């Protein structure tokens, strides 16, 4: 399982495909648990989870001590009203974890468009300049953010410059 990670705030932000995408759900979940994310944000639908053999993902992660947030977005899509309503709280918790040195994992089906869009949004909300954030994100996962609509949603973030502190790599 590919986990593409970079330093954001005082923590680590990563994007990945859904556990089980390559046929080894148990191994992928074990890898995630060992990576020790504070929060896993799942952007896939229930149908995508079942298709990947990951229907029990939320249970496996919560049992291991991870917080699991399920904010489904249609493949190649952007957030709907339900996502937008939940996002301020999820984002605040993720940003707080990153600023406290925690690890956040965002996943979608392939680990590119939807997860890249949400990761970029978090980076900008933490105060990173959009161009710099996108370049850093695409340096670890070149397919991050796939559509113009996804890019527009990520770039609509309110930037908080005072919050952005990055470890030097």
pLDDT tens for the chain, residues 1 to 169: 889 999 999 999 999 999 999 999 999 999 999 999 999 999 999 999 999 999 999 999 999 999 999 999 999 999 999 999 999 999 999 999 999 999 999 999 999 999 999 999 999 999 999 999 999 999 999 999 999 999 999 999 987 755 544 444 4
Which tokens hold the place of 165? Answer: 């502190």
Going from N- to C-terminal start, the domains of the chain cover 4-163
What is the value of pTM for the model shown? Answer: 0.93
CATH topology of domain 4-163: 3.90.190
Dist CA 138 CA 148 (whole Å)? 15
């Amino acid at each position: 399982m590919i986990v593409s990670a970079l330093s954001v705030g005082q923590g680590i932000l990563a994007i990945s495909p859904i556990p089980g995408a390559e046929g080894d759900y148990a191994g992928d979940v074990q890898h995630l648990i060992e990576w020790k994310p504070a929060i896993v944000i799942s952007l896939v639908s229930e149908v995508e989870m079942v298709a990947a053999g990951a229907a029990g993902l939320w249970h496996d992660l919560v049992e291991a001590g991870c917080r699991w947030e399920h904010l489904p977005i249609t493949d190649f899509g952007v957030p709907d009203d339900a996502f937008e309503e939940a996002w301020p709280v999820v984002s605040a918790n993720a940003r707080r974890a990153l600023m406290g040195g925690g690890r956040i994992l965002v996943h979608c089906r392939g680990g590119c468009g939807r997860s890249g869009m949400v990761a970029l949004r978090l980076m900008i909300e933490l105060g990173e300049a959009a161009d710099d954030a996108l370049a850093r994100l695409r340096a670890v996962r070149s397919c991050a953010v796939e559509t113009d609509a996804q890019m527009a949603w990520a770039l609509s973030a309110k930037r908080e410059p005072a919050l952005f502190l990055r470890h030097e790599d």
